[in-house]
Amino acid sequence: MGLKQDLIDAKEQSALAAGANPNDIDTSAGSAIEVEAELTKEAIVNFLLKCQFRITQLSAPVVLEDFNIGPQQGDVLPTVTSTDIPFPGGVGGAPVQFPLNGGRNGVITKTIDVNKAGGTTGVLDSTGYVYIGGDPYSQDEFDVNTLDGIRDFTTVELFKEDIEDLL
Query: How confident is the prediction along the chain (167 residues), in pLDDT tens digits per residue?
Result: 799 999 999 999 999 999 999 999 999 999 999 999 999 999 999 999 899 889 998 888 887 777 778 777 777 777 777 776 666 655 566 666 666 666 666 677 888 888 888 888 888 888 888 888 888 878 888 888 888 888 888 888 888 888 888 87
Strand partners, 154: 58
C-alpha dihedral, 33 to 39 to 45 to 47, nearest 10°: -120
Q: Are 155 and 56 in contact (CB under 8 A)?
A: yes
pLDDT, tens digit, 9 for 90 and up, residues 60-101: 888 777 777 877 777 777 777 777 666 665 556 666 666 666
Q: Is the pTM of this model over 0.75?
A: no
- Give Cα 37 distance to the centre of its chain: 39
Q: Where are the alpha helices (DSSP H) in 53-108?
A: none
At position 108, the amino acid (one-letter code) is I
